[in-house]
Structure 1
């Protein structure tokens, strides 16, 4: 089958030539072909079919199936299996034992049975792109089971008659047979017990059957026995029975009740259970492989961009040093600007990666979407240009949300810029806010959970996207723009911000029909605080008057540079390398005007704990948190907005001193 896949004319299928296949498809096909377990792969919206050598016997008598839609190959049973296939493409794995199907093979219709698992195949971003069918045909096994059930029904009559025919069957059957009283005391077993479980009649007659059943199966067996006590037949009850050597075997039972006893036939299905376990292991290996492919793609893109930026920084510094040694100080500004520019781009890259991974530092507060959109409207119009008609609309009763307002503005502006780029010849763009009630239960982690949300939609009349592009639109470093015109991180950042804020993002698009990006953000149900006053430039530019600042950071070089910059602005700065030292400065009777602290600190106290202890002594103390990374579990929510601010590393010293001045002059 590997050779057939390589030689197949894939260009004539919706998948296109092999060299254009995405990595996730190539990996899935390679793993399928390498497996010795029967497997079939259905890919894409058309459900294009692949299968391995072990699967071929299931197609005996059928035409060539490779590259055809699943619905074509199995047209005679499509009505039966299509709902299960649909569930797999919606994210639900289904395992079914002994599924009955009437199939066409060898020129006629045959009743067949299959045990299979339909599992969704996801790409590196969790998007479902295919379905894996691992399957074994159990027709022969079911036929044997039916014979065993029929034997159980006839066994009661034969046991009462004590006929020679009954005795031969009893002695020669490969299935274990059991006669037990209604109190489940064993009264007879056939010789198969010795072959299957190692027990003889002398070992078991007179013992209670429950002694052989695995303790974990006692409850299930008790429930299954209820119909027998009502005079009904029992079939397809599976439990573990103890072998004489102490191990356990899985036995599938069929039984019928008599007046004072139960007559049962059991079939050893241990190997079938082990094959089912193998199915799960194969699927786990496939998921792990896809995950590793995603990690490789991310690290490759990251290494490429950072190597470029680091090269620019190191080269600028190297030339800067040479020019200083040569005394050519007139050229220094060019190299300084180049190094700072590369550093700024590196900071932007790390910020976007943290946003995509939902680990960026956020400062959430209550935000009114209607007011935010109104503030953005002029900026968006200037960005779009005259060839694009723009409309902004908010429902009158739109709820408030709790998000980082700056990040939300950045996300909406990013989506508007993408929409603009999708309309090179002009078009229309709509920005709208509305309320949304989600009632349906979420089936997967990526589904919108039930609750109340505000939906912010950015809709354009541009070129739209095909399903393959939609599936990868939030992938890091994926872009459809020409080389040099996009990093492939903009939408990744939007996606990560929305997910970190407790929301979800949905994409509606088709080629030639435009695109709609819907951001769902949870409704804010808490109190709505007063908006902080906007500071004028005159107030911020006022000189320092000797205010005292406590600076806590475990990175010595950073602490030294920040302290030096603040002292040059006229502040008195006391430095500490950990939370315990910094808190002792505040508790030592020092009247501090501002506390600057990293969030992650050594010494047993993190920055938030230091701030909380300081606020307990002086509730009005201003605190500036500086950090390069905040885990979602970090307790940075519910900060008092009037006295606290968060500054994300890396930052410029000018930005730091500007922030410090604005906090100290605010009243």
Structure 2
């Protein structure tokens, strides 16, 4: 047996059992010495390892790596490495190629979407690819020692997500929450409710004893110490606490809370979780409620002549007062919990009256009725009663209160008086109502004592006549009442009921309700009227006040709402004007500087030309051009921020772009700053405007340099990213595949309030004159317009990392375009004609000048309508150059589309300083159409013209 294949577990046995003579490697005895050595190392290790050997990358691995292969094992042995991992070939190819090129590769964490158990799963590995050279010195294969860290990465991600989610939930919790760390109880977290309750103290990082010294003698320190040392929770119910407030005063709070020990995996207490509620108001309300309930109970129990009791929603007795016991004869112990049906007559029970009363009270808020009820001894009595619903704090009906007044005697007296035409003396003695008895034949009236008491008359002031009664009715009501009385007397009915105003003894008027019965003789004529008056003054006054309140409630609500909306509109307008002022102020400041440079240079050119000193003209030309280019850069940044810049996206290899910028970045940031690039292997391409991304990277590196005035390291790192639903939502993206480009430093960092405004235009923390404040806003607008996003991760004095996320492009990256110099631009061929459509005369003049210099025939048009006339003519046109924004109802895209109908295949060059992406199809133009952004160098224009005409 070959010594290098001794042992090795299952994989050693599998290698020994296989017939290798049929493979390109031949018999194991003939294998190269480096391969034998590596196979021996792999089989003798407990760590997952493999070897890929030769041009075909034949795979050898050990038992530990077989676990990683899962369902791919054992067929993977001896197979080409890339075929085994075909689903992640795009990720592995650049790494393997680098190893085979002789460069080792090490990664602490790589994300791979593997299919090894019948489904695609996210995996993470730490590994090292080491090139292995053969006996001739050339790289013959690679050796890899790896560790799968998927469980650790996902667990850490879950822990981080759980912690963040818990903190967000805690912040929104209605009760107060704080987290204390260590035996000294250091504040680690407090939510908004805690900060409001305890006066917004600066407690984070402080101990409880330092943050709240006034608790020294209140027992809270000792409770916390006990919970921490014993590990047992403490639950507090209505515990008083005295806090110091501003001005030297103190305030008492009543708290409900829990001290919950925080225990680590080893069972040790590391801190205390505190959650609770401010029960001060509830405590006071409960005390007031208990006092009110006790007061009402005493009042209700003191009423002996009314039956008052409560029932639940199923009409079962809950509370039974002494008055109910007096009226019905049942004591509380006998009837509590029973249905009230036993209090109703069999006829009413059969008709479902008890249930109907509850339904009416539920619908209308109150149900009033007169009916017979049954006492405990089986006797009946007639009652005038009402049913009202009871509500809990949320407005839900929890039961009903029933009130019944025994009116058996009154009913019996009325029946007796109707039958015998006797005076209503019994009723007058049995009630407190004002009773009157009017003999119509003699016009004499007898009143009971209640009339004098109710209306405040002396005994000799009440006249015993009906005329006195009618005469004391309010003049405005007298005619109506007199008419009603005579209608009753004349046979309109036997019952009298009316409301009117009756004069008191002091001359004022009381609102009364008057009801009575007419007694008739054998011939049917009215001989007597007996009735009772009730004073409704206070009830009428209350009803009027309630009615007026309801009538004005809506108006007052509308007025308050209108005031609130006006204030909100004013606030929004002020905020909007503040933002507009900041934007326009910063824009005016920078443009005034640039315009001064341009106009000043032009004026000096005029002066020097007039003086004949042309040698200085070149210097002023350079200054004007430099200021104009900076102005163009400023407008591009503004358009980028507003997501209105015209992009020229193409599939781009961001790694190549970053590598090509390294020298420029190093020269820009200076010698005290070290630049480090970490380019991800197998980075996906992205469909972006490469020049805009270059500007973004340069801006981020300049910001990082400025954050490290004493030197440091700038790290530029690229990576492939899979964004799931949660991660994408956090970054304002759609789920899917993205690349990330992150620029980080170890500088001064940014506090949260600066991060919140970092993307605002012209917002900068740099001194005046050292920054426009457009850099980050431009990067944000560019990323959003490209379908991506930007995120800032920063801590004060720790550094900052800004990450740009861009969507993956499914395709190959394109090579960079190289613009030719205007002097090298080919001349026009004979007869070649270009139509220029632009509403700006200066632009038309400059473009026409360039065309003429190159030998083209230039035709100018000031708007789309004039341009279409030329297009529809017989003139030769080889190229259409048109602005996008044109007056007259036709934009440049519409002109181009119409020209393509009249002249199929016509080449089009859009020149634009600002254009909605929708007009230019979001950068996806038809073949033969190109975009050039204003302002543009004339040499670039000349090259584009020639390139388009030649196809």
Q: Which residue of 2 is the match for residue 487 of structure 1? A: 772
Q: Which residue of 2 is the match for residue 300 of structure 1? A: 585
State how far apart, in whole Å, the 2-side matches of 1:423 and 1:385 are.
Answer: 12
- Does structure 2 retain, via aligned residues, the 8 Å contact 1:532–1:642? no
- Does structure 2 retain, via aligned residues, the 8 Å contact 1:152–1:256? no
Tell me which of 236, 246, 253 is aligned to 2:395: 253
- Does structure 1 retain, via aligned residues, the 8 Å contact 2:885–2:891? yes
How far the C-alpha of 1:253 sits from its partner, in A, is 2.9
- Does structure 1 retain, via aligned residues, the 8 Å contact 2:680–2:719? yes
String of CA shifts for 1:450-482, please: whole Å, max 9, x gaps. Answer: 332111112234443444443443333333445
How far the C-alpha of 1:502 sits from its partner, in A, is 1.9
Q: Which residue of 2 is the match for residue 567 of structure 1? A: 852
Shift in CA distance, 560/538, structure 1 to aligned 2, threshold 3 Å: closer
Instruction: Please give the TM-score of this superposition, normalised by the length of structure 1.
Output: 0.60
How far the C-alpha of 1:314 sits from its partner, in A, is 3.6
How far the C-alpha of 1:273 sits from its partner, in A, is 12
Q: Which residue of 2 is the match for residue 541 of structure 1? A: 825
In the alignment, structure 1 residue 419 sits paired with structure 2 residue 704 = yes
String of CA shifts for 1:400-442, please: whole Å, max 9, x gaps. Answer: 2211111112211222233334344443332222111222448
Higher relative contact order (CA 8 A, sep 6+): 1
Q: Which residue of 1 is the match for residue 933 of structure 2? A: 648
Q: Which residue of 1 is the match for residue 675 of structure 2? A: 390
- Does structure 2 retain, via aligned residues, the 8 Å contact 1:369–1:400? yes
How far the C-alpha of 1:366 sits from its partner, in A, is 2.0
Q: Which residue of 2 is the match for residue 477 of structure 1? A: 762
String of CA shifts for 1:30-81, please: whole Å, max 9, x gaps. Answer: xxxxxxxxxxxxxxx999999xxxxxxx98xx8xx476569979x99xxxxx
State how far apart, in whole Å, the 1-side matches of 2:822 and 2:252 are.
Answer: 91
Q: Which residue of 1 is the match for residue 645 of structure 2? A: 360
State how far apart, in whole Å, the 2-side matches of 1:104 and 1:275 are.
Answer: 38
Tell me which of 500, 505, 528 is aligned to 2:790: 505
- Bigger Cα displacement from structure 2, 386-395 vs 452-461: 386-395
How far the C-alpha of 1:652 sits from its partner, in A, is 4.1
Tell me the SS of whatever aligns to 2:740.
Answer: strand
Task: Map 1:181-200 to 2 at 5 A.
Answer: 187-188=360-361
Shift in CA distance, 159/610, structure 1 to aligned 2, threshold 3 Å: same
Tell me which of 708, 721, 728 is aligned to 1:436: 721
Q: Which residue of 1 is the match for residue 122 of structure 2? A: none
Tell me the SS of whatever aligns to 2:809.
Answer: coil
Q: Which residue of 2 is the match for residue 343 of structure 1? A: 628
Task: Map 1:222-621 to 2 at 5 A.
Answer: 253-256=395-398, 289-321=574-606, 331-441=616-726, 447-525=732-810, 528=812, 531=815, 534=818, 540-545=824-829, 546-616=831-901, 620-621=905-906
How far the C-alpha of 1:533 sits from its partner, in A, is 6.5
Shift in CA distance, 322/397, structure 1 to aligned 2, threshold 3 Å: closer
String of CA shifts for 1:125-167, please: whole Å, max 9, x gaps. Answer: xxxxxxxxxxxx899999999999x99876966899899799x
- Does structure 1 retain, via aligned residues, the 8 Å contact 2:822–2:940? no
State how far apart, in whole Å, the 2-side matches of 1:376 and 1:651 are.
Answer: 22
- Does structure 2 retain, via aligned residues, the 8 Å contact 1:599–1:626? yes
- Does structure 2 retain, via aligned residues, the 8 Å contact 1:49–1:69? no
Tell me the SS of whatever aligns to 1:292.
Answer: helix
How far the C-alpha of 1:538 sits from its partner, in A, is 9.3
Tell me the SS of whatever aligns to 1:253.
Answer: coil
State how far apart, in whole Å, the 1-side matches of 2:910 and 2:878 are.
Answer: 14
Q: How many residues align?
A: 495
How far the C-alpha of 1:649 sits from its partner, in A, is 1.8
State how far apart, in whole Å, the 1-side matches of 2:310 and 2:624 are.
Answer: 85
In the alignment, structure 1 residue 110 sits paired with structure 2 residue 259 = no
Tell me the SS of whatever aligns to 2:360.
Answer: strand
How far the C-alpha of 1:577 sits from its partner, in A, is 2.2
How far the C-alpha of 1:318 sits from its partner, in A, is 4.3
Task: Map 1:9-88 to 2 at 5 A.
Answer: 65=199, 68=202
How far the C-alpha of 1:374 sits from its partner, in A, is 3.3
Shift in CA distance, 278/454, structure 1 to aligned 2, threshold 3 Å: farther
Shift in CA distance, 181/384, structure 1 to aligned 2, threshold 3 Å: farther
State how far apart, in whole Å, the 1-side matches of 2:189 and 2:575 are.
Answer: 21
State how far apart, in whole Å, the 2-side matches of 1:279 and 1:445 are.
Answer: 33
Shift in CA distance, 152/483, structure 1 to aligned 2, threshold 3 Å: farther
Tell me the SS of whatever aligns to 1:296.
Answer: helix
Q: Which residue of 2 is the match for residue 130 of structure 1? A: none
Shift in CA distance, 488/587, structure 1 to aligned 2, threshold 3 Å: same
- Does structure 2 retain, via aligned residues, the 8 Å contact 1:152–1:254? no
Shift in CA distance, 163/327, structure 1 to aligned 2, threshold 3 Å: farther
Shift in CA distance, 280/519, structure 1 to aligned 2, threshold 3 Å: farther
State how far apart, in whole Å, the 2-side matches of 1:586 and 1:455 are.
Answer: 46
Q: Which residue of 2 is the match for residue 249 of structure 1? A: none
Shift in CA distance, 397/443, structure 1 to aligned 2, threshold 3 Å: closer
How far the C-alpha of 1:625 sits from its partner, in A, is 0.9
Tell me the SS of whatever aligns to 1:517.
Answer: strand
How far the C-alpha of 1:503 sits from its partner, in A, is 1.4
State how far apart, in whole Å, the 2-side matches of 1:184 and 1:623 are.
Answer: 85
State how far apart, in whole Å, the 1-side matches of 2:874 and 2:711 are.
Answer: 65
How far the C-alpha of 1:302 sits from its partner, in A, is 1.5
**Structure 2 runs not aligned, ≥5 long:** 1-187, 216-236, 243-249, 257-280, 298-308, 326-352, 369-389, 401-549
- Does structure 1 retain, via aligned residues, the 8 Å contact 2:686–2:809? yes
State how far apart, in whole Å, the 2-side matches of 1:143 and 1:568 are.
Answer: 97
State how far apart, in whole Å, the 1-side matches of 2:570 and 2:283 are.
Answer: 28
How far the C-alpha of 1:596 sits from its partner, in A, is 0.6
Tell me the SS of whatever aligns to 2:865.
Answer: helix
- Does structure 1 retain, via aligned residues, the 8 Å contact 2:819–2:943? no
- Does structure 2 retain, via aligned residues, the 8 Å contact 1:49–1:68? no
State how far apart, in whole Å, the 2-side matches of 1:481 and 1:622 are.
Answer: 47
How far the C-alpha of 1:517 sits from its partner, in A, is 1.5
State how far apart, in whole Å, the 2-side matches of 1:565 and 1:432 are.
Answer: 43
How far the C-alpha of 1:339 sits from its partner, in A, is 3.6
Largest Rg, 1 or 2:
2
State how far apart, in whole Å, the 1-side matches of 2:686 and 2:355 are.
Answer: 65
State how far apart, in whole Å, the 2-side matches of 1:184 and 1:602 are.
Answer: 77
State how far apart, in whole Å, the 2-side matches of 1:466 and 1:538 are.
Answer: 49
State how far apart, in whole Å, the 1-side matches of 2:764 and 2:755 are.
Answer: 11
- Does structure 1 retain, via aligned residues, the 8 Å contact 2:917–2:923? no
State how far apart, in whole Å, the 2-side matches of 1:306 and 1:634 are.
Answer: 28
